[in-house]
């Protein structure tokens, strides 16, 4: 086969909305309203939002998952491509506008949550989902044993694929479970019946709300990644000291929201210190948007140095 000459310039994404593929390219400074304004006209939506006012760049920097990651996976599975500004100021395209790729090493997922250590995102390509036109939000209340049972019932059946979110909310000693559903209006009674059944069997109190106004938890101050079976316990424990915790049950993620005005760095370290051993043993982690990243280990410093040489050489 003849040799193909290398490209002389970078390919970059230009803003687009592909209604057939359900993909949208827009600036990293876009907010929920910007996305909604473009997607809704085509009956599409981007479900992974944690804060209505924050930019996408801020959301991705603050959190790896959103409540709707229960159904759609983390940000890195829903952001298909990026235009990335290297420290030199030059732009490169990382990733694709299509949903599958095995073309080259996966810099996209590596860079997405790397903070600004290797540059910064300029534009994102989002994977949108069909907007079915109806939201249902369920609240389940009860004692902690009943709520744990309830979450187990929600997750350990084929229904689990269809909950947009199954979140365990902990604030001090007050707990509840929140379930988000997005479906065509005619399917809402089917979901409601299943939720009623689970509430009845687990002795929890169910409150349903049709098409509630969009509400978001806000950017978390600390994000912890553990296994799904440990998320509720961790949320309960952290909530004793923190203000509010939201456990994204299937993802094993706990979003911790601290008091405004607190010394976040000090509080975050104090909160997480007792859990580090277990988190690392499980291959979990934690981070805070307020704190610099953990220093690299000696081994990875060598790998990082090689990557940085390539990045700074660009």
Map the footprint of other proteins across residues 251-290, applying CB under 8 A. 252, 279-285
Nearer to other proteins by Cβ, of 106 and 143: the residue is 106
Show the site string, 12-51: x = touches other proteins by CB under 8 A, - = not: ------x-xxxx-------------------xx-------
> Does residue 115 come out as left (phi exceeding 0), alpha (psi in the -120 to 50 range) or beta?
left
φ, ψ of residue 70 to 5 degrees: the values are -55, -40
Nearer to other proteins, 205 or 312 (CB): 312
Residue whose CB is less far from other proteins, 23 or 288: 23
User: Can you tell me the distance from the alpha carbon of 312 to that of 255, in angstroms, rounded to the nearest whole number?
Assistant: 34
Asked if 84 and 94 count as a contact pair (C-beta separation under 8 A), the reply is yes
The string of DSSP codes covering 219-245 is --SEEEE--HHHHHHHHHHHHHHSSEE
Q: Tell me how far, at minimum, the Cβ of 87 lies from other proteins, in Å.
A: 11
Q: Given the DSSP bridges, would you call strands 244-248 and 253-257 parallel, antiparallel or unpaired?
A: antiparallel
Shortest reach from residue 161's CB to other proteins, in Å: 6
- Report in angstroms how near the CB of residue 105 gets to other proteins at its nearest: 4
Q: Nearest-5° angle of CA 24, CA 28, CA 32?
A: 70
Q: Residue 266's CB: how many other CB atoms inside 10 A?
A: 9
Task: By CB under 8 A, tell whether 92 contacts other proteins.
Answer: yes
Residue ranges in 212-231 that form contacts with other proteins under rule CB under 8 A = 225-230
Min dist CB 260 to other proteins, Å, is 27
| Interface region with other proteins, contact rule CB under 8 A, candidates 29-37, 163-171, 240-248, 292-300 | 292-300
Q: CB-wise, 2 or 261, nearer to other proteins?
A: 2
Cβ 67 vs Cβ 50: under 8 Å: yes
Three-class SS of residue 176? strand
Token code pair at residue 186 = 């005619």
Choice from 29, 101, 211, 259 touching other proteins (CB under 8 A): 101
> How many residues contact other proteins, by CB under 8 A?
91
Nearer to other proteins, 52 or 282 (CB): 282
Is 201 one of the binding residues for other proteins (CB under 8 A)? no
- How far is it, in rounded angstroms, from Cα 293 to Cα 303? 16
Residue 225 CB: number of other CB atoms within 10 A? 20
Q: Which of 31, 34, 55, 73 contacts other proteins by CB under 8 A? A: 73
């Amino acid at each position: 086969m003849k040799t193909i000459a290398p490209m002389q310039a970078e390919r970059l994404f230009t803003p687009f909305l592909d209604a057939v593929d359900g993909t949208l390219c827009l600036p990293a400074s876009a907010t929920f309203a910007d996305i909604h304004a473009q997607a809704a006209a085509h009956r599409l939506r981007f479900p992974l939002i944690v804060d209505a006012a924050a930019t996408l760049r801020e959301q991705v920097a603050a959190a790896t998952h959103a409540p709707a990651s229960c159904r759609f996976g983390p940000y890195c599975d829903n952001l298909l491509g990026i235009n990335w500004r290297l420290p030199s100021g030059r732009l490169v395209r990382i990733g694709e506008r299509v949903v599958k790729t095995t073309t080259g090493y996966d810099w996209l997922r590596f860079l997405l949550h790397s903070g600004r250590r290797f540059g910064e995102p300029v534009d994102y390509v989002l994977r949108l989902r069909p907007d079915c036109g109806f939201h249902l939000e369920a609240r389940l209340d009860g004692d902690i044993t009943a709520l744990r049972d309830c979450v187990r019932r929600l997750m350990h059946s084929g229904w689990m694929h269809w909950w947009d979110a199954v979140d365990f909310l902990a604030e001090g000693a007050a707990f509840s479970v929140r379930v988000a559903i997005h479906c065509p209006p005619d399917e809402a009674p089917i979901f409601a019946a299943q939720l009623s059944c689970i509430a009845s069997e687990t002795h929890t109190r169910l409150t349903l709300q049709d098409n509630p106004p969009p509400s978001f938890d806000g950017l978390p101050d600390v994000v912890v990644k553990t296994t799904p079976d440990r998320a509720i316990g961790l949320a309960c424990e952290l909530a004793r000291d923190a203000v509010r915790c939201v456990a994204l049950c299937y993802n094993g993620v706990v979003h911790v929201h601290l008091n405004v005005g607190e010394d976040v760095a000090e509080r975050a370290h104090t909160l997480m210190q007792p859990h580090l051993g277990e988190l690392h043993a499980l291959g979990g982690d934690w981070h805070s948007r307020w704190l610099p990243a953990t220093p690299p280990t000696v081994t990875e410093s060598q790998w990082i140095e090689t990557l940085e040489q390539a990045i700074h050489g660009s």
